[in-house]
Structure formats: structure tokens, C-alpha cells
């Protein structure tokens, strides 16, 4: 795993020896090709950050800041080492449960231009659907302004939901076993088609 492009392009990243499932280089490359000029100067929130590769890729490509959130201590330690290795500035790491942190960020009136979320995949009936839980979280929309974007990663088998109330799906693509959904918050009172 490596930083693909930008000031830290080509640097190898450490991967945690935990249940973390890092986003593959080719999937990250496709995502950043779609995002294009939205990254430079952006304030980024990376939820379920794992290695920090997504946020670090943003910083390498000129993002102003990136907050990486993961509840796993080992993952956060690896993220900190990856930040040190890349020497990128503007990075912060928060070891926290995502769903506990979102209301705190809302309370502090934090807003982000790009929010990435790569929650644990749903594999079996009865598994928590973190994508649905995240999109239903009342604090999440407050962290986005009118021009913000949310990029979700999930397993491509998790395709039963085509739309979510309050969200517009801009892109929904599969890359092998990975599904990338690019969303934008709809203005208050407007529902998705």
C-alpha cells in the first residue's frame, strides 16, 4: 500500500495487523480521479480510517486538513506512524467510536468539504449495516455544507439500497468486490428521487 500521487506520492504505508481492510490502490486511484479538483484546499474527515491512506492521499494532493477517526488503538498508532513517515501537515487522529464522535463534531460546529467512510462490511444477516446507520445519523448532515461530498466504501454485494432519504447519489460504482458511492446532502426538505 502506498500514497499514489502528490507531494508524498510513492511512499509505502504501514498496514495495521488487525481486522483493518485497507482500500486498494486501484480503488483509491479511481476515487481520486473522480474527485479531481475537489481535493486541493479541502477539509477532510476520514471515518473508519484504518491506515489513514485516504486522508493522507488527500493531504498529499493538497488538502488543507484531514481528521482521521478509528476506534482501534492499533490502527490509530499505525496512522500516526504513517503521518510521521509522509511528513504531511494538517493531519489529526482521533481514537473514537465514529457514532460517538459525530455529535461532538456537530456540537463544535465542525464542517468538512469531503467526508470519506469505509465502515466494516456487512457479510451476514444480522451484521450491523454501518452504511445505513451512518446515513441515518442525525449529526452527519450538519458536518457538511452545501458543496460538501460524502464518499462511502462498502462491499459490492451490499447493493439493496439504491437511495437514502436526504441524500443524492452522484455516482455508484463497483471496483471488483468494492462498491464506491459518492453522495451529496440534499437541501433541507428535499427528498432523494
Q: What is the dihedral of CA 46, 49, 53, 56, to 10 degrees?
A: 40
Short-list 141, 149, 121, CA closest to 32: 149
Read off the pLDDT of residues 16-52 as tens digits, 9 standing for 90 and up: 776 565 667 688 888 999 999 999 999 999 999 999 9
Characterize the bridge pairing of strands 167-175 and 91-95.
Answer: unpaired
Confidence of residue 160 (pLDDT cuts 50, 70, 90): low
Number of H helices, E strands in the chain: 5, 7
Mean pLDDT of all residues in 133-143: 91
Tell me the domains of the chain and their CATH numbers. 25-185 (3.40.50.150)
Identify the residue with better confidence: 173 or 158.
173
Identify the residue with better confidence: 138 or 165.
138
Identify the residue with better confidence: 108 or 123.
108
Instruction: Tell me what the pLDDT averaged over the chain comes to.
Output: 87
Mean pLDDT of all residues in 65-78: 96
Query: Residues of the chain with pLDDT > 70: what percent?
Result: 85
Task: Give CA separation, 108 vs 51, 105, 116, in Å.
Answer: 26, 5, 19
Cα separation, 122 vs 153, whole angstroms = 11
Q: Could you tell me if 117 and 84 are in contact, meaning their C-beta atoms sit under 8 angstroms apart?
A: no
Amino acid at each position: 500500500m502506498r500514497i499514489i500521487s502528490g507531494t508524498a506520492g510513492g511512499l509505502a504505508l504501514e498496514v495495521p495487523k488487525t481486522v483493518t481492510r485497507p482500500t486498494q490502490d486501484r480503488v483509491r486511484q479511481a476515487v481520486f480521479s473522480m474527485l479531481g479538483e475537489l481535493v486541493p484546499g479541502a477539509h477532510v474527515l476520514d471515518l473508519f480510517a484504518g491506515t489513514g491512506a485516504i486522508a493522507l492521499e488527500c493531504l498529499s494532493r493538497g488538502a488543507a486538513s484531514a481528521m482521521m477517526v478509528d476506534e482501534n488503538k492499533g490502527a490509530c498508532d499505525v496512522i500516526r506512524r504513517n503521518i510521521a513517515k509522509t511528513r504531511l501537515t494538517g493531519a489529526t487522529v482521533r481514537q473514537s467510536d465514529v457514532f460517538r464522535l459525530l455529535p461532538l463534531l456537530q456540537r463544535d460546529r465542525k464542517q468538512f468539504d469531503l467526508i470519506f467512510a469505509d465502515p466494516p462490511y456487512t457479510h451476514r444477516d444480522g451484521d450491523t449495516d454501518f452504511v445505513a446507520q451512518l446515513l441515518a445519523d442525525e449529526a452527519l448532515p450538519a458536518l457538511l455544507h452545501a458543496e460538501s461530498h460524502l464518499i462511502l466504501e462498502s462491499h459490492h454485494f451490499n447493493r439493496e439500497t439504491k437511495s437514502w432519504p436526504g441524500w443524492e447519489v452522484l455516482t455508484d460504482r463497483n471496483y471488483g468486490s468494492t462498491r464506491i458511492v459518492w453522495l451529496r446532502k440534499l437541501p433541507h426538505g428535499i427528498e432523494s428521487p
